[in-house]
Copies of this chain bind each other. A is one copy, B any other.
Amino acid sequence: MPVTARQFLLNGHPRGRGIEDSDFKLVETQIADPGIGEVLLKTRWLGFDPAQKGWMENIADYVTPMAIGDVMRGSGISEVVESKNAGYATGDLVMGTTGWSEYHLSDGSDLTKVDKDLPPTAMLSVLGTTGVTAYCGLFKVGKPVAGDTVLVSGAAGATGSVVGQLAKIAGCRAVGIAGGPEKCEWLVKEAGYDAAIDYKADNVRSQIKEHCPRGVDVIFDNVGGGILDNMLANIATGARVVICGGISRYETGNLPAGPQNYFNLIFRRGTMAGFIVLDWANEFPAIRKRLAGFAQDGRLAYREDIQHGFENAPATLKRLFSGANKGKQLLQL
């Protein structure tokens, strides 16, 4: 018989401003019994990503637009509570596009079973979109060579912390930029970075020069704005600049200035490139296996910031934009 589920619906497009509580509307709805081939899923964890604000703004045209009244889009891990699909049994844990809903139905086509050798939440962090984004952005776009210096902004974030460790595995020097001494200490002591730069405390440009004395071969940028400009000021010949995200674009009403130092791409024969990780979706299973191997070998540490309670989903998303999260931002229901 039908279950009652709380859901957050999109109620506003936060363009040119921060996310507000009124951008969401909490409703209750009935989820029908699963039909033939379907499973009923109960959401256990939700994962959060800065890209979600882009989806809410409805200007990120690489995904289907979100309309007012849609269930807020998001990924999560769910438990199968009723199955009419031979591929899934009650109790199975699966990752999928749950949306911000306590229950939902699926025909299984969007689901990935959770690897039982790792904590289930790993599928939302180091093995999830976060981990494959780090892997594809670094290796397919940044193309580091052993001995390269890799400089990462937003380095203590979910993606950035994986990038630094993958760079180390690939024989590179990894330097991270993060906000505050706690994050910087974590980068060096736990996440394997060779050096960390606190953008809140230091002169970023001179610190980059100090820690990257031969210049930066690969930039992995999650921030944009002034930090990207400072990184571009110290690129090495042939540098690859990976544009993964731009959290600074979401912080304020106005877009931050573009990078004036893009002109160094001429002097240094550099390349700047963006990417959409979904373009490599067919490779995700193979990439996840590699990442799981690194994690099981102890070469890939990751941390998760787990908040609690479905009703706190909007507040949890906002943590990404204030820099409050330490590691992958999750919500346990």
Contact = CB atoms under 8 A, between A and B. Distances in A.
A243 B260 contact: no
Given A257-B260, A260-B258, A60 B271 contact: no
B271 A273 contact: yes
Contacts of A257: 257-258, 260
A144 interface: no
A229 interface: yes
Contacts of A261: 258
Contacts of A229: 258
Residue among A260, A262, A279 having the largest count of chain B Cβ atoms under 10 Å:
A262
15 contacts: A62-B267, A229-B258, A243-B263, A246-B263, A259-B262, A265-B272, A265-B274, A266-B276, A267-B274, A267-B276, A268-B274, A269-B273, A269-B275, A270-B274, A271-B272
Interface of A: 60-62, 224, 229, 243-246, 249, 255-276, 279
A266 B243 contact: yes
Closest 8 pairs (CB-CB, A-B)? A258-B258, A266-B274, A265-B274, A258-B260, A258-B259, A271-B273, A272-B272, A255-B260
